Amino acid sequence: MAIQDDITFLESSIAELVVKYEQYFLGIEKREPLKLYEDIERFIRRYNTSTIINTMMKFKFNTLVGKFNSYKQYWTRINRLIEEGKYSRDKFIMARHLAEGAPRQTAEHHEKPRANDTEMVFQHYLEARRKCNLPTDNISRETMISVIEKQREALRSKHHCAEVEFRVVIEDGAPKLKARPSKTAVKNH
């Protein structure tokens, strides 16, 4: 059963590499995860030269290789866009770093949401729609921000918290807004 363990290891390594590349693209990681990337390539080359007799394992291995090759093309494209200065997420990160450079407000003064938080949620939502190949020209900035603010107020009163955090996730091929009470600014009730 060594082949099954190796394929499971390959699958988890690819998943780890995907996370590390996303962290690198977001600016969380300062360096591209080339060592893990090269280890996975070496691992794949080793099994490409051997014959896998079990059809199910061979199919799973070939599927993982295809997935890895797709990610390689994606990472190469994103790296090229970053080098050319055309990668849009970099602009959001830069705006966030500029906003973080401003003095932080304490929890007592954090009753009103910062305008740039709502704007960043809106920008991330548009980026997620583009990533899902969905149109963005029919999304009204004012309407979206109004909906976010109404939802924020409703969740504040429901969860008795000073602030609500919004994030954009992609589920079933479509971006969705997820909200949760902020852990840093919870009211005593």
pLDDT score of 98: 61
Instruction: Look up the pTM and report it.
Output: 0.48
Residues of the chain with pLDDT > 90, as a percent, come to 27
Judgement on whether residues 108 and 65 belong to the same structural domain of the protein: no
DSSP 3-state of 174: strand
pLDDT digit string (tens) for 23-67? 888 878 888 999 999 999 999 998 888 888 889 999 999 999 999
Judgement on whether residues 63 and 110 belong to the same structural domain of the protein: no
Judgement on whether residues 62 and 120 belong to the same structural domain of the protein: no
Distance separating alpha carbons of residues 141 and 10, to the nearest angstrom: 43
pLDDT score of 183: 60
Q: Would you say residue 137 lies in a domain?
A: yes
Judgement on whether residues 80 and 94 belong to the same structural domain of the protein: no
pLDDT digit string (tens) for 102-137? 444 333 333 344 445 777 787 888 888 888 778 877
Judgement on whether residues 67 and 102 belong to the same structural domain of the protein: no
Domain span at residue 35?
2-84
Distance separating alpha carbons of residues 58 and 60, to the nearest angstrom: 5
pLDDT score of 89: 65
